[in-house]
Amino acid sequence: MASDPERPSLPSLEKEGKSSREIRGDQEPLLNGNHESDNYSIYAAILPFLFPALGGLLYGYDIGATSCATISIESETLSGISWYDLSSVEIGLISSGSLYGALIGSVLAFNVADFLGRRRELILAAMLYLVGALITALAPDFPIMVIGRLVYGIGIGLAMHSAPMYIAETSPTQIRGRLISLKEFFIVLGMVGGYGIGSLLVETVAGWRYMFGASTPLAVVTGIGMWWLPASPRWLLLRAIQGKGNMQELKETAILCLKRLRGPSFENTACDQVDEILSELAYVGEEKEVTLGEMFHGKCLKALTIGGGLVLFQQITGQPSVLYYASSILQTAGFSAASDATRVSILLGLLKLIMTGVAVLVVDRVGRRPLLLGGVSGIVISLFLLGSYYIFLDDAPAVAVVSLLLYVGCYQLSFGPIGWLMISEIFPLRLRGRGLSMAVLVNFGANALVTFAFSPLEDLLGAGIVFYIFGAIAVASLFFIFFVVPETKGLTLEEIEAKCL
């Protein structure tokens, strides 16, 4: 058969091997990549990680700051407004407005992500962060405030979609897991920062305006930083191989971008790396643009099952609800800090920060599956202990405190960072934009469902039974991880597609 002059030739495929959960039964050959000996500069890798990660930090900051801002807004003496007497529904809209916006942003990302590219989508997210924060901080009345919360939330949806993609596609293979997991560290860092700034301003007149406005400088830095960074070379090569631009021009641009991303040490090998990526993309069939129907068949369906399943279990194992109960649990145990909700939040935030840091340090050495299996096992134990506390052991508050700390720690070792890591690397390149937007939509949708369904379920069944239900779901998630989720440690993104899907 005659070869297509526009299609890159395949490299020689030398090695062949198999591993349970990595290669299908027909022993698809390994892609021949030399990523084990890739040279890269740590210094050069910092900024391509840092600016996208700031998008996650701004998401975390919103979580922390909003919990304090609602206290300020409801105060007759400190709100600085005449419309402070808000109903529970209106306070709920302020608290969850950014969550609804994130859902909208996830839907928008499905349609615009592959057209805009990862870099421009992050620039747009930074602009929405800035506009949303300013509208909220300067809001003259309640409706304008809700609009600001929605706009900021759309920025969250776009940032949480594009940031992990950009980091995954531009990171050296050897440290990809560490960098994407570090983005979760930035989210938690943002939460702690939000709680800290909120606690400092909560007794200031109109302090909520300063809390929401404090995110604007970081939004500007994020936008400028992403404007300066190059486009994702893999996105450029996807455009090239799908005929959405001049092949040679896009290839040359990708080489220049790769040199900027990896630093001077990569100067002599960037050309070979681009050729290798093009060949691997041709091998796995990336030259065909994905259709909506195709997303639910074959390897696309498998990627959706893995990614969507992980972020679904991440939420329906009760993460929002356990944190909701944190203050009352610590107060029952007699902790003096429990009298101040913001101090309790800072305490838990610091624990989350420490455990996420541990995950960041070990993820590329230990692997994704061991952290998931070990961490979720701890979540199962903590949820059944929490359920038992509310039913049988209410005179032993130490059990509740230990369970709470165990849950938070194990979540940050497993579902917290690894969920976002897996969805950023498991989707094939031509599916990555749309697939990741669906996974993010599942994440925020499940978060909203668990958050709003918890109180009615608690009234109907009692807190103990609800935590038992969460524990049973966590057991089911262990089976899902063991039988469905592959190990992607040390593989290039193209090898993940060829061997794990």
Sketch the domain layout of the chain as residue ranges: 43-230+291-500
More confident residue, 281 or 119: 119
User: Does the structural domain 43-230+291-500 have CATH classification 1.20.1250.20?
Assistant: yes
- Top-ranked range on mean pLDDT: pick from 7-11, 97-101, 488-492: 97-101
Q: Is the pLDDT of residue 313 over 80?
A: yes
pLDDT digits (tens, 9 = 90+) for 220-266: 999 999 999 999 988 888 888 877 878 888 888 888 888 888 776 66
Q: Is the pLDDT of residue 17 over 60?
A: no
What pLDDT, on a 0 to 100 scale, did the predictor assign at position 375? 95
Mean pLDDT score, 408-431? 87
Q: Is the pLDDT of residue 347 over 80?
A: no
In angstroms, the CA 33 to CA 491 distance is: 9
Q: Is the pLDDT of residue 156 over 90?
A: yes
pLDDT digits (tens, 9 = 90+) for 23-77: 333 333 334 444 444 566 677 778 889 999 999 999 999 988 887 888 888 888 8
Q: Which of 356, 323, 327 is nearest to 342 (CA)?
A: 327
Among residues of the chain, what percentage have pLDDT more than 70?
84
Q: Which of 118, 96, 114, 102 is nearest to 157 (CA)?
A: 102
pLDDT digits (tens, 9 = 90+) for 106-132: 888 887 777 888 999 999 999 999 999
More confident residue, 342 or 152: 152
Tokens 């096992």, residue located: 377
What pLDDT, on a 0 to 100 scale, did the predictor assign at position 2? 39
Name the token pair of 213.
Answer: 């406005």
What pLDDT, on a 0 to 100 scale, did the predictor assign at position 18? 35
In angstroms, the CA 415 to CA 446 distance is: 14
Q: At what angle do helices 88-116 and 142-170 cross, to 10 degrees?
A: 40
Q: Is the pLDDT of residue 474 over 90?
A: yes
User: Buried (b) or exposed (e) across 132-150, using 16+ Cβ within 10 A?
Assistant: bbbbbbebeebeebbbbbb
E strands along 269-419, which residues? none
- Top-ranked range on mean pLDDT: pick from 317-321, 385-389, 396-400: 385-389
Biggest alpha carbon–alpha carbon distance for the chain: 80
**Alpha carbon 375 to chain centroid, angstroms:** 17
Other CB atoms within 10 Å distance of the CB of residue 256: 15
In angstroms, the CA 224 to CA 198 distance is: 26
Q: Is the pLDDT of residue 392 over 90?
A: no
Q: At what angle do helices 270-283 and 233-241 cross, to 10 degrees?
A: 50
CA distances 308 to 16, 366, 387, Å, are 30, 23, 27
More confident residue, 333 or 199: 199
What pLDDT, on a 0 to 100 scale, did the predictor assign at position 290? 64
**Span of 156-165, 187-196, 330-339 with lowest mean pLDDT:** 330-339
How many Cα neighbours within 13 Å face the side chain of 402? 11
In angstroms, the CA 103 to CA 106 distance is: 5
**Span of 66-70, 160-164, 355-359 with lowest mean pLDDT:** 66-70
What pLDDT, on a 0 to 100 scale, did the predictor assign at position 22? 34
Q: Is the pLDDT of residue 13 over 70?
A: no
In angstroms, the CA 344 to CA 363 distance is: 28
As a residue count, the chain comes to: 501
What pLDDT, on a 0 to 100 scale, did the predictor assign at position 337? 44
Rounded to 5°, angle at Cα 387 from 381 and 390: 140
